[in-house]
Each structure stands twice: as C-alpha cells, then as structure tokens.
Amino acid sequence: MKAFYTVILAATFSISLLAENNPVERVFISTDREVYVAGDVVLCSLFCLDLQGNPSNACAVSYLELVSSEGTAAESKIGLLGGRGAGSFLIPVSTPTGVYRLIAYTSSNANESGTPWILGSRILTIFNTISVAKVKDGVEIVDEDEYMSLRREDADNCGKILFNSTVRVRKGSDYTIFMENNGAGADLSFSVYHEDDIIPAHQDNSMEVFLNSLSSSKPEFTGVRQIDYDGEIISARIKGNIMENNNKVVATLSSAGAPSNLYIGVTDNDNVSFYTNNIYGDREIVCEVSNVDLEKGSIDIESPFIGAGAGKLPQLQMNRIIQKDLSTRKAALRSSNTMRLDTLTSLLRHREDLLLETATCKHYHLDNFVRFPSVREVLVEIIPYVSLRREKGKQKLVMVATDATDYYKTSVENLLVMMDGVVISDLDLLLDFDAMLIEDIDVYTQAIACGKVSFSGIVNFITKKNYVTTLPFPESVKVVDFKGVSYPVAYYGERPPEDVEDVRQLLYWNPVLRLATGENKRLILHTPGYTGKFRAVAEGLADDGTAIHYEFTFEVVE
C-alpha cells in the first residue's frame, strides 16, 4: 500500500512540475476574409492570451494548421511579440472544395491534453475553381431558396469604437472611413473586402466567445515539448555511429543566403535542438553533424506541427448561382500578383543579422579585382592574410593577425568557413568550386560566439545565386526546404498599375491597428473598377480586457 501511495505522489508531483514549467496560453485567429479560392493567400492576425485575458509574453512563435476532416491542407508559422502576431500563408491550388478549420497553437499548447486550440480557431470556406475535388462528405448541393436562406445576419457589434462612412460610393474613387475610440486603448485587425453571393459556412467563434471561454479552461499538461521562449526550437534526430569516444556530437544549422542564421546544438544522445531567434521566410537550410560516420551518419529535421484535428465542421452548402462569383474570384486571383503586401518590420521578433550585427566586416567584391579561376588563387592574390594550411592530410583556413604596429604577426586558427551563409567543414568542397561563380567574400576578423562554440573569425564566400545548395555534400549533411516564420504583412489598398484592370477582392487589411483612448483615425481607400457590396470588419481586444467587434457594409456603384 505504501508503494502505491508513493507512485501516486510521484505522478502528482510530475504533473505539477509539467504545469509549473508550461505557460498557459490560448490563441485567437482573425483573418482578412472568410471565403477563399484555392491559390489565395490568407492574411492572419493572432491574439495570444493567458487565462486572465492578458497578452502572453511566453512563446515567440505560433504554429498554424489549415485542417479538414481529411487532414492538414496547409501549415504556417507566425512569430509572436507581446501576445500579438501577424503573417500569411498560401492555400495550395490542390486544396479540395470544402469547409476548413484554421488552428493556431504554441509549443505550450502542444503539451496539453485535449484540443485547447479549438477555442480560438477560425472557420474558412474554400473553393477550388480548377478542380472538382471536394472534401469527402463535406459538400451538399441545395436548391436556390434553401441556399439563400443560409445568408447570415450581421454579427452583433461590441466595444466602444465607432465607425462612420457613407453607404454608397462610386467605383474607382476614394472612400473615407472615420474611426473614433470612446473606450480603453484598442488593438485590432481591420479588413475591407468584397462580399458577393457566396455564403460562407457558419463561423462558430468570435472574440467575445473566446474571452468568455478562458475562465472555464482547465489545462492539463501531459507533454514535455520544449517551450519556444525566444524563438522556434528546431528539433532533429541524429543517425549514425559516433566516431569519437566522448560520445559528444556538435551539429550546425545554417541558412542559404543568411550568414547570421547560424545555430549550433550540442547533445550527448541522438537528439539535438537548435534554439533560434526565429528564422523568417521559406528557405533552404543546411544541417551538418560532426563526429559522425560520414557515409552512414545523417540528421533529420523533425516537424513541429502536431497534426491537429479539425473538430466538428459543418457541411458546405452550394448552389449553381455562385458560379459567376467564383469565376470573378478566379480572375481576381490571376491578377493578385500585382497586389503588393507591406512587411511590418516593427513586428519582427528579432533582427536577422543578430549574430553579426556588431562584427566588423571586410568586404571584397571580386569584380573589382582581376578574376581568378580557382579559390586558391583568389585567396593568394586578393586576401593575403587568409591562407590555406594542410594539417593531418586535411585543408584548413587560417588568418594572419597583426598588432597595431603591423610588426607582430600570428596565425589565427579555428575559423568558421561559410558559403552563402552555410557552414563548410570540408574545404575540398570550397576549393573544387568554380571561383568565377563567387561574387563577394566577407571576412569577420574578431572572435564570435555561437551557442557553446566560439570562432576566431568568419570567412563567408558569397556566390551569385546561392550555389551552395548544389554542392556534393556527404550523407551527414542534409539540405532541406525549411518553412520559416511568416513575415508579418499588411495591405493598405495599393492599386494595380493603370494598364491592369482593378478587380481586387480585398481593399484593406491591417492586422495590428492600434487606437489609443480618445483617438480618431481616418482611412482612405480606393474602390475597385466594378460595382458590388463590400464589408468592413474590425475585431480585437481593448486594454480593459473587453472584446471588440464591429461590422458595416457599403455599396460601390456606377
């Protein structure tokens, strides 16, 4: 009996430790629209709160999954700062027609049992205009009368922000929206888009419903995933035999085209973690493991996505009357490449040049010198204080350092050699490379620390088109397409060029619109070149913890 109670106490203690080490967070998603066609870009705004409804400062990244009853259709990552985030993702053109749930969660949520991410999720209606593929048992064809009866009523407005605008405006003209905040400071997403006869599936969530659900949440932590406090933690598994007796492996992760995206993980087993400051954008990354059998050793990046379930989803009910509107949306999608999104640099979690921002760089643009066909000749003729040395049958790069009088000289070893920001441990790969394809060489002459490893300097060979990923790396080096954190973006209504027909469906999107107490704001939009009904939606949170939701419509006429 005593042993039984000991087990119970140990289990209780373990659960309490998990709860203590995991911040409790809930993520609410706002999007620029509710109806999309496959191939559209979805613009997102995230509100990450604790159970008291306050912005959470814990996790620095949120993971998004677009899911249906058939599984995950798209994945994305959005950086968080002070409980707020913004980003976008592309709906694959192969996505079947149907109803989807957009889910956002943090690494802390991934440690919870149940489905805590459902509370702040978003229902999206997606049509595939180039394929007849549909979500299995997810679409129902109804007659016109029944379809029109599905049209939703306007949502109840809440909050103390007032909007004032005209109800009709001519196409191709300016349209002004006035905002007035009569309450506490407010943090919003705000969208203005075309509303046609396509009726979206019923939205089963709102900011008010989300806030009310927080107090009834009872988190139970059962997982041990590491928390992304400062940025995404990239986990990998190492395969192969350790070649040294100390069983310690050093792994590097670097990103083609970004020398500051260098991370080093050290592990004593077959798992390694890279603690990043968030790597932005989709890019190729290169992972390499030292002290592992070069022929049989390898490293595999593990997915951070959990494959969240969609929960209960409604059927998409359709009627033939929407065919014309779908054709219009398809045409708008084709011309959407003229729409420029504005990157909100103020929302980036960290600068991408964090590692090298204070380092002194000597930059050599090789076209300013006589071109040489080999890397050896380039080093000898252009950068004489960086030279090659053979040691134990292998080439290594050393730097000649001098004192202030240029009298005392010494060789500095332990240099980090990179090509296009990617670590090159086998210098033969560099020496066999065509030097005519190298455009610049950056030399950092002071010591630089990265994780638990330090270097006496860095030499980065920059090619014309990121040719580093074409090098014949051994099996222990893995080149993978990496989905980085989405850049936070907004769309402020920039019009297409004059020679392009203005068929924009989205007129405005700001994921982080801030209004102070008593502040008035004026937005001026330009209406497109067609007539129709447009809807404006503001959604967010006031500083006093109350929900904000406001919708209104206006007509664009001849």
Whole-angstrom distance between the N-terminal and C-terminal Cα of the chain? 84
In a domain, 269, yes or no: no
Instruction: Write out the residue range of the structural domain in which residue 11 sits.
Output: 7-222+306-349+488-557
Of 166-170, 300-304, 339-343, the one with minimum mean pLDDT is: 339-343
In a domain, 59, yes or no: yes
Of 193-207, 269-283, 522-536, the one with minimum mean pLDDT is: 269-283
| Percentage above 90 pLDDT, the chain | 60
50 pLDDT above the threshold of 70 = yes
12 pLDDT above the threshold of 50 = no
- On whether both 55 and 78 belong to a single domain, the answer is yes
In a domain, 153, yes or no: yes
- On whether both 443 and 384 belong to a single domain, the answer is yes
- On whether both 412 and 549 belong to a single domain, the answer is no
**How far is Cα 330 from Cα 35, in angstroms, rounded to an integer?**
13
- On whether both 124 and 176 belong to a single domain, the answer is yes
**pLDDT tens per residue across span 261-287:** 888 886 767 788 999 888 888 888 988
In a domain, 243, yes or no: no
469 pLDDT above the threshold of 50 = yes
**How far is Cα 283 from Cα 299, in angstroms, rounded to an integer?**
18
Rounded average pLDDT over 451-457: 79
Angle at 166 between CA 164 and CA 171, to 5 degrees: 135
- On whether both 438 and 413 belong to a single domain, the answer is yes
**How far is Cα 501 from Cα 72, in angstroms, rounded to an integer?**
35
Please give the pLDDT value at position 349.
52
Please give the pLDDT value at position 391.
80
Listed in sequence order, the DSSP H helices in 49-205 are 107-110, 144-148
**How far is Cα 461 from Cα 441, in angstroms, rounded to an integer?**
5
Instruction: Evaluate whether 89 touches 281 at the Cβ level (below 8 Å).
Output: no
- On whether both 125 and 161 belong to a single domain, the answer is yes
15 pLDDT above the threshold of 60 = no
**β-strand partners of 12:** none
60 pLDDT above the threshold of 60 = yes
Burial of 441-468, coded b for 16+ CB within 10 Å and e otherwise, reads bbbbbeebeeeeeebbbbbbbbbeebbb
Please give the pLDDT value at position 258.
77
Of 222-231, 290-299, 503-512, the one with minimum mean pLDDT is: 290-299
In a domain, 294, yes or no: no
- On whether both 546 and 407 belong to a single domain, the answer is no
**How far is Cα 100 from Cα 127, in angstroms, rounded to an integer?**
11
Of 77-86, 220-229, 448-457, the one with minimum mean pLDDT is: 448-457
Please give the pLDDT value at position 264.
85
Residue that is last in its domain, among 414, 438, 467: 467
Report the mean per-residue pLDDT for the chain.
Answer: 87
**pLDDT tens per residue across span 409-446:** 566 778 889 999 898 988 999 999 999 999 999 998 88
Instruction: Evaluate whether 98 touches 316 at the Cβ level (below 8 Å).
Output: yes
Select the highest-mean-pLDDT range: 94-98, 275-279, 469-473, 498-502: 94-98
| Percentage above 70 pLDDT, the chain | 87
Please give the pLDDT value at position 346.
64
**β-strand partners of 538:** 190, 550
Please give the pLDDT value at position 490.
92
152 pLDDT above the threshold of 90 = no
pLDDT tier at 545 (50, 70, 90 boundaries)? very high
CB atoms within 10 A of CB 210: 21
Please give the pLDDT value at position 14.
42
146 pLDDT above the threshold of 90 = yes
Rounded average pLDDT over 314-331: 93
- On whether both 339 and 369 belong to a single domain, the answer is no
In a domain, 525, yes or no: yes
Rounded average pLDDT over 236-257: 72
| Residue carrying structure tokens 């708008």 | 332
Could you tell me the pTM of the whole model?
Answer: 0.88
Question: 430, 422, 484: which is closest to 286 by C-alpha?
Answer: 422
- On whether both 407 and 553 belong to a single domain, the answer is no
H or E stretch at 284: strand 283-289
- On whether both 83 and 151 belong to a single domain, the answer is yes
In a domain, 456, yes or no: yes
Domain count, the chain: 2
* Strand 258-267 versus strand 547-557 pairing type: unpaired
In a domain, 201, yes or no: yes
CATH code of residue 450: 2.170.130
Higher pLDDT, 61 or 479: 61
Please give the pLDDT value at position 347.
64
216 pLDDT above the threshold of 90 = no
pLDDT tier at 473 (50, 70, 90 boundaries)? confident
pLDDT tier at 485 (50, 70, 90 boundaries)? very high
244 pLDDT above the threshold of 70 = no
- On whether both 405 and 459 belong to a single domain, the answer is yes
Q: Could you say which DSSP state residue 134 is in?
A: B
**pLDDT tens per residue across span 499-521:** 888 999 999 999 999 999 999 99
- On whether both 324 and 441 belong to a single domain, the answer is no
